[in-house]
Amino acid sequence: MKCVTLLILCVIALSGSLSAQPLPRVVPEKAGISSDRLGKMHAVIQGFIDEGKHAGAISAVARNGKLVDFKTYGYRDLEARAPMQPDTIVRIYSMSKVITSVAVLQLFEEGRFALDEPVTRFIPELRELKVCTGGTVENPTLADAKKPITIKHLLTHTAGFAYDFSAKEPVRQLYVKADLLEASSLKEFIQRLARLPLVQQPGEAFNYGVNTDVLGYLVEVVSGQPLEDYLRDHIFVPLRMIDTSFDVPEAKMPRLAKIYENGPDGKLRPVAKPPFGTYAEKGRGFASGGGGGLFALCPDAPQWWQTRRPANPGAKNGGADAGQPSDFPGQTHAGWKSVGRLRAGRFGADRSDQGQRARVDRAVRLEWRRDDRV
């Protein structure tokens, strides 16, 4: 059955600099954006609501560090007729990957590890992984890995891990049986994952998978903090993302958008179980994995994505990388040299798949700091 989740359109032109304050509003035309075109976008999204394809939606457009357009549509709760509002809390699913990857870059820049370092130095449970080359669920054909999985492989989704929906048989069924995203903790997740084969040799190709969840556990091991605590202390609190977390407090539950699916009659109905273990209640399911599970406000998204736009001191003639460094006081961002590597997809070795070089967790883009520590 096709799951119909909350539609969130955050159409963002990534340029500008960071501010700890909400983005200032600007008239669309002054930002080089057509009000007429925005009106057409509003009409299309409203059409999804009117046709019963989605319960509610939020759209946002930001450019050059300014908010050009923000609009809510429909309902966060159809049954209660509770409208979608700017302070509605939503599940951001795989957008969590970018935030976890920022945490990894912070630790990298502190000199806690090298990107080409084997991840088994920190997660020895993954030392004996095999590669599936065929066979059946009952009797898969396995081969030794030719090289260890590095942190860079995890950032670029080239480690050989998968999701059940991105793996080929027989690995797909093995992932289904393992039910990784129902693990009660990242440690239990790693224990389950260690019993599964890789879908390919590490570093040989891109395969979308649970790589960032492994990175989430890496953050825990290296920092000595639970992932949710590390993200809170080093990212969410400094950026004043006060409603972003891996669960929703009871007092904020009325603001949470419900998830809907198509029933047998084709109409929307609430899902009985949130996909991918994204339970809102603390302590339920695999909520703090790193690759998904965060709850957040849509108004935070434009500010977050704008903070990830680097201002390159080497840019000339006002090019695309030109800009001014932020005066933001927190230690929450990666240096501009790391940003350059991320944007180019270059981390050293293993460029066998040139077409995937730039796929580093949604091409993470961060601001640069004056202290060039990389």
Report yes or no: 91 and 278 within 8 Å, Cβ to Cβ. yes
Q: 343 vs 56, which has greater pLDDT?
A: 56
Q: 332 vs 251, which has greater pLDDT?
A: 251
Model pLDDT, residue 286: 59
pLDDT band at 359 (very low <50, low <70, confident <90, very high): very low
Report yes or no: 225 and 240 within 8 Å, Cβ to Cβ. no
CA distance 154 to 364: 14
Q: Tell me the domains of the chain and their CATH numbers.
A: 3-92+242-307 (no CATH), 99-223 (3.40.710.10)
Model pLDDT, residue 110: 93
**Per-residue pLDDT at 176 exceeds 80:** yes
Model pLDDT, residue 368: 29
CA distance 19 to 238: 11
* DSSP strands (E only) in the chain: 3-4, 7-13, 56-63, 66-77, 82-83, 89-91, 130-135, 140-144, 260-262, 268-270, 295-297
pLDDT band at 182 (very low <50, low <70, confident <90, very high): confident
CA distance 292 to 210: 9
Mean pLDDT over residues 346-360, rounded?
40
Mean pLDDT over residues 235-253, rounded?
91
The 10s digit of each residue's pLDDT in 97-151 is 999 999 999 999 999 999 999 999 999 999 999 999 999 999 999 999 999 999 9
Model pLDDT, residue 240: 84
CA distance 71 to 44: 13
Q: How far apart are the first and last CA of the chain?
A: 48
Q: Of 21-30, 180-189, 259-268, 304-313, where does the model show the most confidence?
A: 259-268
CA distance 245 to 300: 12
Strand partners, 58: 8, 72
For 39, residues 6+ apart whose C-beta sits below 8 A from its C-beta are: none
